[in-house]
Amino acid sequence: MDTRTALLAAAAAVLVVSAVGVVAAPDALDDPREENERPGDVRIAGIVVSPGEVRGETAELRLGVDLRHRGPAVENVTVRHRAIGADSGLLVDETTVDVGEVDGGGERTINGSVDVERAGGYRIETAVFADGERVETRTTRVGGVAALTPDYADTRVGFTDGNVWPTVAVSVREADNATATLSVSVSVTNRGDAASDPLDLRLLMRQAESNVIADEARETVGSVRPGRTETVTTTVEVPANYNYYVDAALWSDDVLIDETQGVANLNPRETIDADESVEEVEFSVEDFADGGAGGDDGADGERPRDDGGTDDGTPGFGPVAALAALLAAALYARRRP
């Protein structure tokens, strides 16, 4: 065998061996760069909603979005939050959080927030985008936003709510026929975990029948320890022999914190109660639409009366009145000379 024939035989053997290797291990010739060219994946693993700053008319809803990442890095990731009114369907607020590149696998939390009014309920739509393309959307429903307490009024100190022990207790210290000096004690309880800051207690003595303020008082409620109840006592002077509502309010830096009411019954013939309620009557057009009672009406809807008048109150002369007038005229004419 010459050299040329030997080279051709060797080349053929190499081709055969290569073909067998490809059949036995088809991934052997795959480009290792193809694995890196597969796009990564970002998904929402969970969403947590919690109240943030609560103001007078609006409240902040904090949104924690758990993003799960798999595969290669994902660039230009953003998270968009939309707050939509549950009843109106109108967009209330929209915010976007720029996450940037997501890499390394596992989960990470992305924090965001929206501002809503403290009324009604809302539908929070959270969408994840990668390079401007929407990847996933989740919807969370939030209700009872009106129940959130504003930060300026968030305190655990308030008037005592007891079944037997009175929140407002009134006793008479001195009295005569004109005035009465009353001692008013108010109980305040700290339901929190820390000692409270000093508060301002204001009392109004309101006369029951006229709602006139007969006297007022102001005291400082010192720091109350957690779980403790303090009693604050003050005196007022009011006219005797009247009944009064004792309106009590707790204030913190001119912010109304809590309010309650008691009574002082100084009129021995009549008493009042702090739990009295006033029934409201709704105006109804039907109450005034009826033209009057049934029966034979005149042509114009006015029924004659026995006294010659009409049901609408218009004065008139009837037969009896006319006869009396004629008799009076005849008698007057006969008496004249």
pLDDT, residue 38, reads 66
Are 257 and 159 members of one domain? yes
pLDDT tens per residue, range 18-45: 555 544 555 544 555 444 566 789 999 9
Are 117 and 58 members of one domain? yes
Angle ∠(22,28,33) on CA atoms, nearest 5:
140
pLDDT, residue 15, reads 59
pLDDT, residue 151, reads 87
Residues in the chain where the model's pLDDT stays below 70: 1-38, 275-337
The model carries a pTM of 0.57
Are 165 and 213 members of one domain? yes
- Nearest CA to 177 out of 265, 239, 245, 270 is that of 239
Examine the fold and report which residue of 93, 127, 147 is the final residue of a domain before the chain moves on. Answer: 147
pLDDT, residue 248, reads 97
Burial class (CB in 10 A: 0-12, 13-18, 19+), 41: middle
pLDDT, residue 117, reads 94
Number of domains in the chain: 3
Residues 247, 206: contact at Cβ < 8 Å? Answer: yes
Are 133 and 159 members of one domain? no
pLDDT, residue 286, reads 31
Does 190 fall in a domain? yes
Beta bridge partners of 85: 122
Q: Using the structure block, give the residue that is written with the tokens 């006229």.
A: 210
Q: Coil, strand or helix: which one is 332?
A: helix
CA distance from start to end of the chain: 187
Residue 248: give the domain boundaries: 155-265
Are 260 and 298 members of one domain? no
